[in-house]
Amino acid sequence: MSVLPGKRNRTPAWMRRAGQGLSRSPAFAAASAWLAIRYLKFVFKTNKWIVEPEDALAEVTPELPVIVGVWHGQHILLPAIPIGLTASVMISRSLDGEITARVAQAYGNRTIRASGGRSAKATLKKGALKGFLDMKAALERGENVLQTADIPKGKSRSAGAGIVTLAQKTGRPIVPLAVASSRRWVLPKSWDRTTINGPFGKSAIVVGKLVHVDAEGGDAAIEKARGELQLELDRITERAYALTGKPE
């Protein structure tokens, strides 16, 4: 069956029901997370790593706490990378979100279970408002937070206003971050080009220029910063893949 450009096949109802059932199974989530943790450790240990800039942590430290922004689908290996920072991480309430949350917690991070939406109704249903307030509170306590910059199930790699609004309301800068591996598998039907990093390759982590948002600038400041974040994430993502020797 052909698919029109820009359209996604809807997951069959029986698969959604099965997934919902599994997501409520603590045993399944625990087993999946156990396997994922060991796989990520194996991938990290068997890859040759490049960090750019080399003193990225030293540059970021004076700005703590910060909001780390990444593209959806490019974040899977992040928990296993010992970059010297832990964070409160916003993770969806889905099945893969439950597994991801357990993995993040295993590496010392705190999780906030919520995700953004493409409409007001979806946003409320997914707990995004509570998630926003929880992340704001975490920053006010001096904790870093990590959030995907693009909206779940929206347009891939298109920075949304949520992460920028959080920066404006808290006065904390956004640190754009990109991770790429030469050996990788991209899930073909994933909306966000979900990438599974593989072992025995070359990997790169690139930190971009901090994005600051004018607290008094209103909507114009949010849009300006959103554009800056978009450009910087695109730039460092391309750079990270180039450093691996296998461009995207």
Convert the pLDDT of each residue in 130-187 to its tens digit: 888 999 999 999 999 999 999 876 788 999 999 999 999 999 999 999 999 999 999 8
Q: What is the pLDDT of residue 115?
A: 66
For residue 191, what pLDDT is reported?
A: 83
Say how many C-beta atoms besides its own lie within 10 A of residue 99's C-beta: 23
Residue 156: name the closest of 247, 244, 239, 234 by CA.
Answer: 234
CA distance 34 to 183: 22
Q: Starting from the edge strand earliest in sequence, which strands make up the sheet with 202-207, in order?
A: 48-52, 202-207, 174-181, 67-70, 145-148, 88-91, 110-113
Closest CA to 222 of 183, 167, 144: 167
Rounded CA separation 206/193 (Å): 19
The answer to whether 180 and 243 are in contact (CB under 8 A) is yes
Domain boundaries, the chain: 13-243
CATH topology of domain 13-243: Glycerol-3-phosphate (1)-acyltransferase (3.40.1130)
Listed as ranges, residues in the chain with pLDDT below 70 are 1-24, 95, 115-127, 153
Distance CA 152, CA 71 (A): 10
